[in-house]
Structure 1
Amino acid sequence: MTLSKHWKYNKDEDIVVTQLKGLVASNPAVQLIPSEKVVFNPHSVTSQKITLISGGGAGHEPLHGGYVGHNLLDAAVSGSIFASPSTKQIMAAVKTKSDKDKGTIIIVKNYTGDVLHFGLVAERAKSEGYKVEVVNVSEDVAVGREQNKMVGRRGLAGTSLVHKILGAAVNSEKGGDLTTVAQLGRVVNSNLVTLAASLDRTSVPGKTEEIEFNEADEAELGLGIHNEPGTKIKPIPQINELIKDMFHKLVSPEDKDRHYVDFDLKNDNYVLLINNIGGSSSFEMFAITQHVIENLPFSKKPKRVYVSDFVTSFNSPGFSITLLNLTNVSKEDIIFNSDDILKYLDAPTNAPGWKPKIFNDKLWEQPIEYVESPMKHQVAVTSKLRIDENKFETQLRNAMKVLLEQEPDITKYDTLVGDGDCGETLAKGANAILNALDNDKDFKSGLSDPVATVSRITELVEDSMGGTSGGLYSIYLTALAQNLQKSQEISVSALGDAFHNALYDGLFKYTRARVGGRTLVDTLQPFVDGLKKTGDLKEAVESAKKGCESTKHLHASFGRASYVNEQEFKAEGGVPDPGAVGLLAIIQGFLGTV
């Protein structure tokens, strides 16, 4: 796949320091030691509580600097991109925040460089009179026991939970003893599991070396956060199948080499964290979240669900699932229980990297109920007007058929002059109407009433079509139904008045688009004006056709095309406005002139 692009920075710039300065500039509750890349909380009184320090390579933001704040870390140290900070940097954090009497807990992700450098600092600090405990985070299930006996499992998104739990614990009544809190951290870690999946690797700002990206229809399962490869999956699986496989690897005891935490799927309480590895949109993250929840293998609902970018790998387009077994924590020989864990997770913080809010336990445990729309039981609009329902159905079907036949051309035009979705949007509306004709008995039986029919078509358009086109059609059809309801008869003259009033007193109140603006109005307005003036449908259609054709040479004043270089659509004789083409297809298809 193509290497992702990044903005260009100064050649002599340390981009890690730059982004840390940006973090501090946007978060005045913390301070920075630029020379050591140490972010710390100047307001935490560590003479009254245990100090919490963490860190590691850059590129995993908001980890670790984003977790400095009240009820979280007191200091965080950043190395270079994907590289451990030096012992000098780490010692600077210790000396800046640590109190020799209360003691310090250093939280370390289980990577060789981090373990060595932070471990060495812990020993040096002890030799200088500091009391230090080290808590390693290693919750990845992709790494088996036999695969890496020397280093073990990697620390991933579960690190953020360890940060938050210990960060609030040291401020609690139970959190005054260094050894006790460190043991809590180890117990939490021993009951964490995480597995990651991604469509591709990540690219690094300022780096020019080649990265082996995945093929177009290929994904990875079990990748690391430093571009360490996982298991290739080809083709890209359907999301439900992927998530089921991930849960199997997370909780099933079948794979002895990777089964690290026991889960009683019927009885255990747990926390669910869904992490954006960096390049997944918020849209997809919430869609993924719903699929994760639908495929949970547990009988109980999670006590908490957290969805955010907790531990990232720059722009890697993936996500990870983390589970914390609360019931197991309560069974351990420590003074903390699962209620304490939830209380610490809920404790407020001003650290920008921790985005979840406080939850109400009682509300959280209630079943999710979706609200029925108040529009479901609305009274249908009707009239005493009558038309030939069989003829109308034939004309309506033909209009939709012609529109669908021209959809590829409409899409091509919109790809050149817009965002490429006009054809798809119109096709959704056409298919919704055809589906209603085939399957909605009430709709089909009411075709003899033009007001009821236009009103129902308006609902179908509103429900199926989005964007500007959907809005324009819905407004116009709503106004048309209102004007038809005022009519005393169905005649060409009455229709001309209704179409005209729906445009000038209806749609034109909500859009500045007029003839010459290169929109669907270039088809609609000539048709309406022609029908009103002459009462001749054929002449009105001809006027609409000429209006549509004229859009090839018009300056775009409205819509997406107004942002496109005009040379793009005036070359080779011009490109017609896709919306105008779509409406002409409907008119011609309905009247049988094509």
Structure 2
Amino acid sequence: MPLAKHWNFNKDEDLVLSNLKGFVHSNPEVKLIPSEKVIFNPNSDTSKKVCLISGGGAGHEPLHGGFVGDGLLDAAVSGTIFASPSTKQIMAAIKTKSNKDKGTLVITKNYTGDVLHFGLVVERAKSEGYNVDMIPVADDVAVGREQNKMVGRRGLAGTAIVHKVLGAASQTTGGDLKSIVGLGHAINNNMVTIGASLDRTSVPGKNGDEIEFTGSNEAELGLGIHNEPGQKLSPIPNIDALIDDMYHKLLSPEDKDRHYVEFDLKNDDYALLINNIGGTSSLELYAIAEHVVNKLPLSKKPSRVLISDFVTSLNSPGFSITLLNLSNISKSDDTSFDSKDILSFLDAPTNAPGWKPKHFKPESWDKSEHTQYVDTPMKHENQVTSTLKIDGSSFASSLKNSLEKLLKEEPKITHYDTVVGDGDCGETLAAGANAILDALKNDSSFKSNLSDPVATLSKITEIVEDNMGGTSGGIYSIYLTALVKNLQKAEQVDTKSIAQALYDALYDGLFKYTKARVGGRTLIDTLQPFVDTLHNSGNLKDSVSQAKKSCDETRNLQAKFGRASYVNDDEFKSEEGGIPDPGAVGLLAIIEGFVESV
């Protein structure tokens, strides 16, 4: 079971109330009723528009309080984590913002506690003369009809779409309660969602032993947002296979128990929402979005793509996919609004901080040419060449041997960097090595120019720039660029001219951009002794020997540059003999591997 860690708040602190108080510090457009945990928009004029109120248990932020704002919700009420607010809290929201004449719509997620508490308040409000109605959002497809005949589908990320569309419709059209309710039913009836996660969520203040976490090589499909279990998937599936499975459950007419919304895969217009369930990094979320869009089984491109954390489950590391069938809404008997209206409501600006998709002009989405990828201006740059000649096949053999030796050393380099750095040095070097090896094997233009050392090194520099990130990638790129420049000055290829080019590339090139020198515990501890010795003596064997000696001495050095400079001294001595600098070890492998074949 993973360790569920949370910050240590004060023993008797109401964490939900602290969250709401913290939230309003950053939002001058809302007010808070602390005793009832109600956030409301004091600026919305509910005498001219239908009042929209929502709420439910905490733990789904930015739902619900984050959606209070112009063109969205007028008020939101929060219960404790994963628990419905009380009827007293909900009634406070209605009395604060509702106008009896224009009407109020209460939006909940379809969970028993929410439906009972909000429903009871709706009935009480009616008895007090309020014109009020309620919509329980139900968009989940993971739960079949037979399994939940009495309760129905759960409310998931589609809740955010209902909030946004109805909020904008109420604000911009001034429609009456009946028309807004009808639109809400049309949206709800034509929306499907399914989620997947690598693990359940952990709840602040609760013992982790109370939670059945997912196994180390498991994921769950169709889980709920309150730690309700889903279908276990083991091992963790490939992302494309998982998304295929999710689309099958969202769209397949063969599964009669879960086929809630009809889609014409060839002709229907639709909106796509990709939701972060809480603990998915932005890096992964947008990478997932690329796969979700590429795997879409519908012929048309989405009319809108919305990506953010809309409805979360605390820190659950998952995502969900929601599809809204716009074409069906245009045919719906529940509303007179059509698909263009829905898109305008989704596009409408709002100051609610929880609605993070930016407002774009509709024509930006409507462009038929939706290809957003363009060729790099570097693609057609002239290749650097020279009249210098070498034995291309011999150079290729030495280069191949050099890179293969580096790849053999990669696990050791990665281990060293994991102890004293950020763990990516070996992977960065391997990425560059594999890319160069691939070019040696498959790039005909590269292979045809191997007899020209300037053209070859220029191409290698380009490959390194494209495939090696981080500090080491920058250092290699700068040095190789300077080496190409200085090699172009040579009249012939011999030890003396190469040594001079290597020397000038170091002292007049790389050293302009880094203060690292021998003794700094960097790859310079290998590079500088090799270059200096070759330049002074012309002896290749001695040059390699001096580079190796200096590399080994990094075991006794404290780092002065890069992320390793922040590492405690004890870490460098954590293994017998000390830990050498990973970058210096990697460069030594390259040099030794090349020289072995010369």
TM-score, length basis structure 1: 0.98
Mapped to 2, the partners of 1:359 and 1:565 lie a distance apart of: 49
Deviation at 1:373, TM superposition (A): 1.4
On the 8 A contact 2:4/2:208 being kept in 1, the answer is no
Instruction: Tell me which moved more, 503-512 or 477-486.
Output: 503-512
Deviations 1:17-47 (A, max 9, x none): 1111111111111111111110011111112
Equivalence map 1:295-314=2 (5 Å): 295-314=295-314
Mapped to 2, the partners of 1:261 and 1:408 lie a distance apart of: 51
Q: Give the residue type in structure 2 aligned to 1:585.
A: A
Q: Give the residue type in structure 2 aligned to 1:196.
A: G
Equivalence map 1:145-224=2 (5 Å): 145-173=145-173, 175-210=174-209, 211-224=211-224
Deviation at 1:458, TM superposition (A): 0.6
Residue of structure 2 in register with 1:472 after alignment: 475
559, 583, 589: which one aligns with 2:587:
583
Deviation at 1:445, TM superposition (A): 2.3
Residue of structure 1 in register with 2:285 after alignment: 285
Mapped to 1, the partners of 2:534 and 2:365 lie a distance apart of: 59
Instruction: Tell me which moved more, 222-231 or 284-293.
Output: 284-293
Equivalence map 1:63-82=2 (5 Å): 63-82=63-82
Equivalence map 1:440-589=2 (5 Å): 440-571=443-574, 572-589=576-593
Mapped to 2, the partners of 1:271 and 1:427 lie a distance apart of: 41
Residue of structure 2 in register with 1:345 after alignment: 346
In structure 2, the CA distance between the partners of 1:274 and 1:395, relative to structure 1 (3 Å rule), is same
Instruction: Tell me which moved more, 427-436 or 40-49.
Output: 427-436
Deviations 1:110-153 (A, max 9, x none): 11110011111111111111110111101111111111122111
Deviations 1:368-409 (A, max 9, x none): 142111222111111112222232222212211221222221
Q: Percent identity?
A: 69
On the 8 A contact 1:416/1:568 being kept in 2, the answer is yes
- 5+ residue gaps in structure 1? none
Q: Give the residue type in structure 2 aligned to 1:388.
A: D
On the 8 A contact 2:526/2:587 being kept in 1, the answer is yes
Residue of structure 2 in register with 1:360 after alignment: 361
On the 8 A contact 1:3/1:203 being kept in 2, the answer is no
Q: Give the residue type in structure 2 aligned to 1:229.
A: P
Mapped to 2, the partners of 1:390 and 1:241 lie a distance apart of: 43
Mapped to 1, the partners of 2:44 and 2:90 lie a distance apart of: 18
Deviation at 1:224, TM superposition (A): 0.4
Instruction: Tell me which moved more, 123-132 or 478-487.
Output: 123-132
Residue of structure 2 in register with 1:258 after alignment: 258
In structure 2, the CA distance between the partners of 1:394 and 1:332, relative to structure 1 (3 Å rule), is closer
Residue of structure 2 in register with 1:107 after alignment: 107
Q: Give the residue type in structure 2 aligned to 1:268.
A: D
Mapped to 1, the partners of 2:455 and 2:265 lie a distance apart of: 53
- 5+ residue gaps in structure 2? none
Deviations 1:335-364 (A, max 9, x none): 211111111111100001101122333332
- The secondary structure found in structure 2 opposite 1:107 is strand
Deviation at 1:491, TM superposition (A): 2.4
Mapped to 1, the partners of 2:448 and 2:456 lie a distance apart of: 10
Mapped to 1, the partners of 2:251 and 2:545 lie a distance apart of: 67
- The secondary structure found in structure 2 opposite 1:170 is helix
In structure 2, the CA distance between the partners of 1:209 and 1:532, relative to structure 1 (3 Å rule), is closer
Deviation at 1:239, TM superposition (A): 1.2
Verify: 1:29 aligned to 2:32, yes or no.
no
Q: Give the residue type in structure 2 aligned to 1:195.
A: I
Deviation at 1:324, TM superposition (A): 0.9
Residue of structure 2 in register with 1:59 after alignment: 59
Mapped to 2, the partners of 1:240 and 1:72 lie a distance apart of: 34
Residue of structure 2 in register with 1:7 after alignment: 7
Q: Give the residue type in structure 1 aligned to 2:348.
A: A
Deviations 1:565-591 (A, max 9, x none): 121112322110010011111111111
Mapped to 1, the partners of 2:393 and 2:166 lie a distance apart of: 72
Mapped to 2, the partners of 1:128 and 1:496 lie a distance apart of: 93
Mapped to 1, the partners of 2:70 and 2:557 lie a distance apart of: 59
Deviation at 1:316, TM superposition (A): 0.7
Deviation at 1:3, TM superposition (A): 2.7
Residue of structure 1 in register with 2:317 after alignment: 317
- The secondary structure found in structure 2 opposite 1:197 is strand
Q: How many residues align?
A: 593
Deviation at 1:79, TM superposition (A): 0.1
Mapped to 2, the partners of 1:166 and 1:390 lie a distance apart of: 69
Mapped to 2, the partners of 1:370 and 1:414 lie a distance apart of: 36
Deviation at 1:593, TM superposition (A): 8.4
Mapped to 2, the partners of 1:431 and 1:324 lie a distance apart of: 43
Residue of structure 1 in register with 2:395 after alignment: 392
Verify: 1:376 aligned to 2:375, yes or no.
no
On the 8 A contact 2:398/2:597 being kept in 1, the answer is no
On the 8 A contact 1:136/1:186 being kept in 2, the answer is no
Mapped to 2, the partners of 1:127 and 1:384 lie a distance apart of: 94
Mapped to 2, the partners of 1:220 and 1:397 lie a distance apart of: 44
Mapped to 2, the partners of 1:115 and 1:542 lie a distance apart of: 77
Mapped to 1, the partners of 2:451 and 2:233 lie a distance apart of: 55
Mapped to 2, the partners of 1:529 and 1:430 lie a distance apart of: 25
On the 8 A contact 1:202/1:313 being kept in 2, the answer is yes
In structure 2, the CA distance between the partners of 1:527 and 1:209, relative to structure 1 (3 Å rule), is closer
Verify: 1:117 aligned to 2:117, yes or no.
yes
Residue of structure 1 in register with 2:86 after alignment: 86
On the 8 A contact 2:50/2:175 being kept in 1, the answer is yes
On the 8 A contact 1:195/1:222 being kept in 2, the answer is yes
Deviation at 1:99, TM superposition (A): 1.0
Q: Give the residue type in structure 2 aligned to 1:582.
A: G
Q: Give the residue type in structure 1 aligned to 2:558.
A: H
Mapped to 2, the partners of 1:402 and 1:84 lie a distance apart of: 62
On the 8 A contact 2:17/2:34 being kept in 1, the answer is yes
Residue of structure 2 in register with 1:407 after alignment: 410
On the 8 A contact 2:558/2:572 being kept in 1, the answer is no
- The secondary structure found in structure 2 opposite 1:339 is helix
Mapped to 2, the partners of 1:177 and 1:394 lie a distance apart of: 79
On the 8 A contact 2:49/2:176 being kept in 1, the answer is no
- The secondary structure found in structure 2 opposite 1:70 is coil
Residue of structure 1 in register with 2:437 after alignment: 434
Mapped to 1, the partners of 2:340 and 2:455 lie a distance apart of: 58
Mapped to 2, the partners of 1:98 and 1:106 lie a distance apart of: 10
Q: Give the residue type in structure 1 aligned to 2:22.
A: G
Q: Give the residue type in structure 1 aligned to 2:234.
A: K
Mapped to 2, the partners of 1:196 and 1:442 lie a distance apart of: 47
On the 8 A contact 1:199/1:318 being kept in 2, the answer is yes
Q: Give the residue type in structure 2 aligned to 1:150.
A: M
Mapped to 2, the partners of 1:263 and 1:47 lie a distance apart of: 39
Mapped to 1, the partners of 2:410 and 2:235 lie a distance apart of: 29
Q: Give the residue type in structure 2 aligned to 1:535.
A: G
Deviation at 1:2, TM superposition (A): 0.7
